[in-house]
Amino acid sequence: MNRKNKLLGNIGNFILFMGPSLFAFACVLIIPFLYGIYLTFTDYSPIRITYEFVGFSNFRAVFTDKEFWQQFLKTLGYVLYSTIFCNLLAFILAYLLTSNIRGRNFLRAGFFTPNLIGGIVLGYIWKFIFANVVTKLGETLDYQPLKTSFLTHPDRAIVAMIIVTVWQYAGYLMIIYIAGFVGIPREVQEASEIDGATGLKKLFSVTIPLMVPSFIICFFIMISRGFMTYDLNLALTNGQPYGSTRLAAMHIYQKAFQANEYGIGQAEAIIFFITVAIAAVTQVLLTKKFEVEA
């Protein structure tokens, strides 16, 4: 009887403390996700009341949509370069700010601040910078590539997006790398120094291998956030010029809510979600192989 009462008490405590969170999680994520999967098999449109079951025709339409796959490839390139440069800059900043540099706490806060700015606001700020500050600098230096805004050229507009993304997230990843540096046991560092490992040799032979958990987290964050970029894309370029910076998330939104082809848009979103999940999990599994213990 006591075991039964204890079990009922545990169930009651679970429902009391976890029930509201699980209910909210189901309402906000699980149910909409499952309903979205259901809608991919229909011809649902936001402007129609009724809709019919159409099977896999929406998925067939996705695989024949050349524009979607073009935007998808652009997104892959954007995610790749953003992830590489953002992690590289964040690691360098963390390395410098864990040394005995003066004002390092102030600098840490300063580099982290851009991450607190929303993507929409950030996009409009940098839109002004590229259109006015950078062009003025180009005229002052008489440097032709800077005399026109990055956002007016199809090839340079995507570079502008990568620059802003790196500026936004580098400080956030820097904090994770700083935690990784601080977490390296002092005994290991001292032992490596006794064995003659100093400077770059110590960095590549001791520090970086022990920082693999930080690399896993930071790469995962950038890959997942890079694929989901929409607000910055909307505010900074709105997919222009000539659709050269329209990423996959924006294409899906326009397909579903502007073209009113919700079933196709939802099918694209499901395929996009599966791709992001595969990329993120693959990255974690691959980098886990390089993880070592102190």
pLDDT tens profile 30-60: 998 899 899 899 888 877 777 888 889 999 9
In a domain, 41, yes or no: no
In a domain, 161, yes or no: yes
CA nearest neighbour of 92 among 149, 177, 176: 177
Task: Please report whether residue 22 resides in a domain.
Answer: no
Number of structural domains the chain divides into: 1
- Report the alpha-carbon distance of residue 252 to residue 68 in Å, rounded: 8
pTM score, two decimals?
Answer: 0.87
130, burial (CB in 10 Å: exposed 0-12, middle 13-18, buried 19+): buried
Tokens representing 256 are 């579903």
Q: Which residue has the tokens 């970029």?
A: 229
Does residue 198 belong to any structural domain of this protein?
yes
Q: Is residue 250 in a domain?
A: yes
Burial class (CB in 10 A: 0-12, 13-18, 19+), 246: buried
Q: Is 293 a member of any domain?
A: no
Question: Which CATH number covers residue 182?
Answer: 1.10.3720.10
Least-confidence region, from 86-100, 124-138, 183-197, 226-240: 183-197
Per-residue pLDDT band at 2 (split at 50, 70, 90):
low
Mean pLDDT of the chain: 87
Q: Let me know if residue 56 belongs to a domain.
A: no
Domain residue limits at 145? 65-288
Q: How far apart are CA 266 and CA 41, in angstroms?
A: 9
Output the CA torsion sign for 55, 61, 63, 68. negative
Residue 212 in any domain: the answer is: yes
Q: Model confidence over 199-251: pLDDT tens digits?
A: 777 788 788 888 888 999 999 999 989 998 999 999 999 988 888 899 999 99
Cβ burial, residue 177 (10 Å; 0-12/13-18/19+): buried
